[in-house]
Amino acid sequence: MKLVLLSGGSGKRLWPLSNDARSKQFLKVLQDDEQNMVSMVQRVWAQIGKNGLSDDSYIATSKSQIEIMLSQVGKDVPLIIEPERRDTFPAIALAATYLYSVQGVSLDETIAILPVDPYVEDHFFDTVKVLEGVLKKSGADLALIGVRPTYPSSKYGYIIPAEDPLSNEYATVSRFQEKPTEEEAEQLILKHALWNCGVFAFKLDYLISLLVKKEMPIHYEELMKQYHKLPKISFDYEVVENTKHIVAVPYDGYWKDLGTWNTLTEEMGSRQIGKGIISEDSSNTHLINEMDIPVTVLGVSNAVIAVSPDGILVTDKSSSPRIKDVVNFKQGPMYEEKQWGWCRILDIQTYADGNQVVTKKMNIKTGENLSYVLSTEKQEVWTIVKGEAEFIHNGNFMLIKEGNVLHIPAKTMHGLRAKSEVEFIAVQTGPVNGFEDTIEIYKEWTEIEQHCSK
């Protein structure tokens, strides 16, 4: 069996920490067994490893998430790259063609699809492992995992089985119901309904045959070329609701969707991350502060205060899901985590003559490098404030360290490799429309050394 973890989403419900460059699954607000701060994707990938599934697992993600994904789960994790976000049906179709035409996976192989951010106990993956056998025994086209509800929630979709799934290893699915009222959910639970946790499995042949019927390419490279034409539709609507023979495997354990601040803070190991003070009479209040300025919370209960370079959120926990309807998300991300480190925008100034000045703080991890690039429009000044690095400018190598100031005119090639952890302030100046003109010449430092003389 092959596992494909879906990593997408813009993370709008967890603003201001999440944004287009750092979705909710990348926020390091959870704790692992050693009390280290980890993200949802790091937590679930570690669980997959504990359960012996990592050698057969892939992560399907968008092009914009490659850097942060590699930074958090490592460079050896196999990624299936979407050229753009187009919902779960196109993502799963692309993954299926990758496994079939690039990896040479047998059409008889079982493919299990999981979200990348479930908050589950380790034994949840024992249930994932039985999906392959259930497909074979039942002869079904799809096998789903349904979570035994612990209360009548209106936040989740429900799987309504034709019989009580506790009386067997699996149950035939009668129908689905999306986010009922709490009163309707109570009635559904009496009918042995299960929460739909977005986990399902199928034979690779089932989906490849479906793509053939839809006259869609079944080879990865061809589907990549036509990806922009695919409908933006979920796998549930496009495939699951049109599949006749579906079974569900019950999971009787802890499961939670950490998609909003009120649910996420319930699983945080600490009430406070970052600088600040929460007064003793501020009960059930959480502070998450990514800035260097302290935040003081006095006498405010049942609240979330989240602070990042993108903005500040102060919300009652019960109101936090409404953030997606309130905040204007047109501003680009002010903080990005990269494979090589991180970048934080400190200031943006636009002037009447059409020029813009952007000030950034950059952090490069030891041994990592920035690509060898050229900008046709903007010039830069770097002030090194920490560490030592190898710097290359128009083919010339030099050693730089704390206190050095580097002037990089437009139309000149440059790159950097950190010998120790490096931080510098970069002031970029150029026309407003000239900040997207960067041309990457070489990405890896070995390439740079090969083509540039020392």
CA–CA distance, 230 with 91 (Å, rounded to integer): 10
Beta bridge partners of 160: 175
CA–CA distance, 178 with 214 (Å, rounded to integer): 26
Phi, psi dihedrals of residue 292, rounded to the nearest 5°: -85, -5
How many CB atoms are located within 10 Å of the residue 11 CB?
Answer: 21
Q: Burial level of 213, CB count in 10 A (0-12/13-18/19+)?
A: exposed
Given strand 379-386, what is the order of strands in its sheet?
335-337, 341-350, 355-364, 422-431, 379-386, 405-408
Read off the DSSP letter of residue 65: G
Token pair belonging to 47: 């669980």
- What is the model's pTM? 0.84
Q: Are 442 and 415 in contact (CB under 8 A)?
A: yes
Cβ contacts of residue 188 below 8 Å, gap of 6+? 152, 158, 160, 177, 180
Q: Are 30 and 20 in contact (CB under 8 A)?
A: no
pLDDT per residue rounded down to tens, the chain (454 residues): 999 999 977 667 888 988 777 888 899 989 888 888 899 999 999 999 999 999 999 999 988 888 889 889 988 899 999 998 888 999 999 999 999 999 999 999 999 999 988 899 999 999 999 999 999 999 999 999 999 988 888 888 899 988 776 667 888 988 898 888 888 888 888 888 899 999 999 999 999 999 999 999 999 999 999 998 888 999 989 999 889 899 999 998 899 888 889 889 988 888 999 999 999 999 999 999 999 899 999 999 999 999 998 889 999 998 988 887 877 666 678 888 898 999 999 999 999 888 999 999 999 999 999 999 999 889 999 999 999 999 999 989 999 999 999 999 999 999 999 999 999 999 999 998 766 778 899 999 999 888 886 5
